[in-house]
Structure 1
Amino acid sequence: MADVREIKNRMNSVRDTMKITNAMHMISTTKLKQAKRALNKTEPFFEELQKTMHDIIKRFPSAPYIFFEDEENQKISKKKTCYLVITGDKGLAGAYNHNACKLALEHMEKNAGEESCFCTVGIFGYHFFSKKEYNLKKDFQFTASNPTLKKARLIADELVDMYLSRKADEIYVIYTKNESAISSKTIIEKLLPLSKENFQVREAASELPIYPSAEEIVSALVPDYLTGYIFATLMESYTSEQNARVMAMESATRNAKIMLQEMSIVYNRLRQANITQEITEVVSGARAQKNKKKMKFKEGDHSLS
């Protein structure tokens, strides 16, 4: 059994760890609120952009849009697939990072006959795919911890270039969606090519002037649409990461308190046992000294007689 000093050192170590986890919990809570506000501010613009694309495609469904699925794309036997995997820059967020990487690998294994490459957001994803020697095409560093519209546009431009240059026939994004305060879900969605069916769920505007052509307008709008879509996935992932870290740090702080309570009981018992032992030793020593004096006294009386 550990002695009193060792238990005390452990308790001090747990207290120091609890201070760190509690501070990280407060920081993540603040970042979570900021992420939700930023996402809510940008949603209206991109919703209107999506509505405009709805109206154009609804009125001109047979136009040859280069960013949409067509018969030529469907006939490709061995497609080149690119995965944009969004992870975090840090750990201590439960299974947040592992789930995104795991889902990307599972989807890649299902399409084993295709050529696959990866683009990563976040240091964790970069190390995961670079160490295991996967085909890592691009790493967008310092984006996961500070998602901005500018960074989302850089990612969208890179993916559009890959698609137009035929370096990738299909592009998917893997990110984590924050469903509630206590749950999140890692999902995969196709970015390119787009599906016309997803843009035909609402009635088109009665009068919508088209100039110079529906194809050119949609081709100009798609990069902006993808920018907004990617920014939304970045913010969703960032929100989910902070939410996961809040829950992880809250659990760690709670476990630290439980450990401290258990160690306090053990510490007090050991300390009480040590005090009892010291008292017993003092009493035994005093009794021995008393007996010794009695023996000396008796010996002295015997010598006088």
Structure 2
Amino acid sequence: MPTTRELRDRIHSIDNTMKITNAMYLISSTKMRKARASLIQTEPYFYTLQAMMARVMRHLPEEYTHPYLDLREGVADGKGKVAVICVTADKGLAGAYNHNVIRKTEELLAKYANYRLFVVGEMGRSYFHSRNIPIEEAFHYTAQNPTLHRARVITRKMMEYFEDKEIDELHIVFTRMKNSLEMECEEEQLLPLDKLHPVFVKLPITANYEAFNIFPNTDALIDNVIPDYINGYIYSALVEAFCAEQQARMTSMDAANRNGNELKQKLRIQYNRARQAQITQEITEIAAGAKAQKAAKKKNKQEV
């Protein structure tokens, strides 16, 4: 059984740890409010862009072809060149947030023999580097500060690779916020776009009319709209991932605080019992000593 000093030291250690977890919870809650504000500001633009893309896709001729829309040979058989953007966090202590994204990325990479891996976040970079999985490029300072400029940098690089035929497909793996308490790790193909993708087929058209004139021509429209759509999607993914990270860290730190309080309560009970047993033992020893002294004095009187 641990001594009272050991129990007291352990309780003190838990108190110090809980100061850190409480501070991390407060920091994450502050970042969460900032991330939610960015997400709320981003969603109208992104959903409007999705609705516009759905209208464009519905009005394209069935026989129309474009490099941004057509599947390339060999990709379906796993022989094509595929780029994967993995969006993780720069720090841990966020529950299963990073683990879920990395696991889904590994499942995606296992389907292709020829891939290029692009990583956002230090946790993903460290994980793949430690397992000797080649990383084409790691985008630093992006996970904790998702901005439209950083999204443009990533989009520009991916579009150049795709246009130069260095990659045949582009996928992104990130964590989406389903609601204020629930998140889900998702994988989405960004290039080439599928005209029959559920997002474009099922998304309702907000306009009250179906008339749609393409000017100056279809190629010019696709060349301008799709890069903006890809950039908007990547920026939205970065913001949602940052928001999900803070939510996951808040949940993790809250659970750590609850577990710490429960453990402290159990240790305090053990400490009180140990202290009570120690006091009882001291009283018993004092009483036994007093009794022995009294018996010794009585014996000495009888001898005298």
Normalising by structure 1, report the TM-score: 0.89
**Shift in alpha-carbon separation, 1:77–1:101, aligned structure 2, 3 A:** closer
1:236 pairs, out of 237, 240, 243, with 240
Give the aligned partner of residue 159 of structure 1: 158
Say if 1:99 and 1:200 are closer, same or farther in 2 by CA, change over 3 A.
closer
Q: Which amino acid aligns with 1:206?
A: A
Q: Deviations over 1:184-233 (max 9, x none)?
A: 2111110111112344664875253502x221232122222111101111
Match of 2:280 in 1: 276
Q: Using the TM superposition, name which of 163-172 and 56-65 deviates more.
A: 56-65
- The DSSP-based 3-state class of the residue aligned with 1:81 is strand
Q: How does 1:31-50 map to 2 (within 5 A)?
A: 31-50=31-50
Question: Runs of 5+ in structure 1 lacking a partner?
Answer: none
- Please tell me whether Structure 1 or Structure 2 has the larger radius of gyration of its CA atoms: 1
CA drift of 1:124 comes to 0.6
- Are 2:296 and 1:292 equivalent residues in the alignment? yes
The residue identity in structure 2 corresponding to 1:160 is M
1:71–1:106 distance in 2 versus 1, CA, 3 Å: closer
The alpha-carbon distance between structure 1 residues 208 and 265, as it changes in their structure 2 partners (threshold 3 A), is same
Partner of 1:146: helix, strand, or coil? coil
Matched-pair contact (CA < 8 Å) for 2:21–2:256: yes
Q: What residue in structure 1 maps to residue 265 of structure 2? A: 261
CA 103–72 in structure 1, closer or farther in 2 if over 3 Å, else same: closer
* CA distance 1:92–1:293, change in 2 (3 Å): same
For 2:190, what is the secondary structure of its paired residue?
strand
Match of residue 194 from structure 1: 193
Letter in 2 for 1:132: R
The SS at the match of 1:69 is: coil
Separation of aligned partners in 1, 2:287 and 2:248: 58
* Structure 1 residue 145, shift from structure 2 partner: 1.2
The CA distance in 2 between the partners of 1:252 and 1:48, in whole Å, is 40
Q: Is 1:65–1:219's contact at 8 Å kept on the other side of the alignment?
A: no
Separation (CA, whole Å) in 2 of partners of 1:222 and 1:73: 23
2:261 and 2:65 map into 1 onto residues whose CA distance is 63
In structure 2, what is the equivalent of residue 67 of structure 1? 68
Residue 12 (structure 1) aligns with: 12
Cα distance, 1:78 vs. partner? 1.9
RMSD between superposed Cα atoms in Å: 2.2
For the 8 Å contact 1:63–1:215, the answer to whether it is kept is: no
Q: How far does residue 249 in structure 1 lie from its aligned partner after superposition?
A: 0.9
**1:23-69 deviation line (CA, Å, top 9, x unaligned):** 21222222222212111112223333344444444434344432112
**How many residues matched?**
297
**Identical aligned residues as a percent:** 36
Which whole-Å deviations, capped at 9, do the CAs of 1:273-302 have from their partners, x for residues lacking one? 111111111122222222222233333x3x
Distance 1:96 1:71, change over 3 A: closer
Q: What TM-score comes out, normalization by structure 2 length? A: 0.90
CA contact (8 A) 2:176 2:244 kept: yes
